[in-house]
Structure 1
Amino acid sequence: MKWGCMIVQTRDVVSTDEAFLFELYVATRKHEFSILALDEQQLHALLHMQYEAQKRSYQQHFPQAKHEMIYHGELPIGRVMTEIKSGNIHLIDISLLPDFRGKGYGTKVLKQLQRNAAKQKLSVTLHVVQGNPAQKLYERCGFYITGEQAPYITMKFEPFK
Structure 2
Amino acid sequence: MTRKRIQIKKIDNISSRQVTFSKRRKGLFKKAQELSTLCDADIALIVFSATSKLFEYASSSMHQVIERHDRYSAIHRLDRPSIELQIESDSNNILRKKVEDKTRELRQMNGEDLQGLTLQELQKLEEHLKRSLTNVSKVKDAKFMQEISTFKRKD
TM-score normalised over the length of structure 1: 0.25
Question: Normalized per residue, which structure has more helix?
Answer: 2
Higher RCO (C-alpha under 8 Å, 6+ residues apart): 1
Question: Normalized per residue, which structure has more strand?
Answer: 1
Q: Which entry has the higher C-alpha Rg, 1 or 2?
A: 2
